[in-house]
Amino acid sequence: MLKVDQLNIRLSGRPILADVNLRLHPGELVALLGPNGAGKSTLVRTLAGELHAPANSIHFADQPLGQWRRSTIARHRAVMPQKVDLQFPMTVEEVIALGRPREKPEQRGRVIDALLERLDIEHLKTRLVPTLSGGEQQRVQLARVLAQVWDQPDPRLLLLDECTSALDPAHQQVVFGQLRQLASAGYGLLVAVHDLNLAAQYADRLVLMKGGRIVADDSPTSVLTPDILKAVYGLSARVTMLPEGYPLVIPTSADQCP
């Protein structure tokens, strides 16, 4: 569904992404990991079409990304940026409706209600978004992003940049459980996240970045090893295999200068 070949991006004259190669298949949930400044958001923004990529370095559904019409790709690819700061006095349902601007109100209402329930924000439906807590707002923004591709034809790609960073542990589980269900329904998901254990629990594959490069791309068990964590994050950690079948990372200390 998504193919990235030898992607290089420079910003303000600095190389930010170097030789990035990536594949994402329908039905896969891939977590994008790496220390602050590794290049995760830059990669997400490039795949979102926000930053210009060299021709033919990115293909979506076998077509060069630059050749997709904006209005067409909007039904197949939705993006949640790292920072969304909505200050307009709009209600939760109005914000989610932004994801489906050209739909009959009745059908749109059904989609909104389904997403309100799945993200546990039904009780917030008529509240003004700027008055919500950080974690409540994050779930509303995720609902808006999901609304864009909900009930649309395949392929469907979600690019989510730290969509659970403000959530309490229970809501992190709720959201990742929903993302897992979307993967089972055939969506491809690339999710930038800092929480190694959430990634280990829910992702099929972990793509680990450092210094603008992909340094590991494999199963959670293969990527989350003490040696790799030390080399990439400067993090000392114990890693235990859980009976559930995925690793648990227990950080013990960090180098001052990784």
Ligand X SMILES: Nc1ncnc2c1ncn2[C@@H]1O[C@H](COP(=O)(O)OP(=O)(O)OP(=O)(O)O)[C@@H](O)[C@H]1O
Residues engaged in binding ligand X (CB under 6 A): 11-12, 14, 16, 34, 36-42, 82
Instruction: Provide the minimum distance between the beta carbon of 151 and ligand X in the complex, in angstroms, as a whole number.
Output: 31
By beta-carbon proximity to ligand X, the closer residue of 39 and 99 is: 39
Report d(CA 189, CA 29) in Å as an integer.
5
Nearer to ligand X, 12 or 256 (CB): 12
Please state the closest distance from residue 210 (CB atom) to ligand X, in A.
9
Report the residue number, 40 or 100, with the smaller CB distance to ligand X.
Answer: 40
Nearer to ligand X by Cβ, of 42 and 150: the residue is: 42
**Shortest Å distance, C-beta 45 to ligand X:** 8
How many whole angstroms from its chain centre is CA 222?
A: 21
- The smaller minimum CB distance to ligand X, of residues 11 and 55, is found at 11
d(CA 229, CA 258): 10
Instruction: Render 171-232 in DSSP notation, one character per residue.
Output: HHHHHHHHHHHHHHTT-EEEEE-S-HHHHHHH-SEEEEEETTEEEEEE-HHHH--HHHHHHH
Residues with Cβ within 8 Å of residue 118, at least 6 apart in sequence: 143, 178
| Of residues 214, 190, 207, the one with CA closest to residue 79 | 190
Least distance in angstroms from the C-beta of 217 to ligand X: 16
Hey, what are 180's tokens?
Answer: 């897992």
Q: How far is the CB of 35 from ligand X (least distance, A)?
A: 7
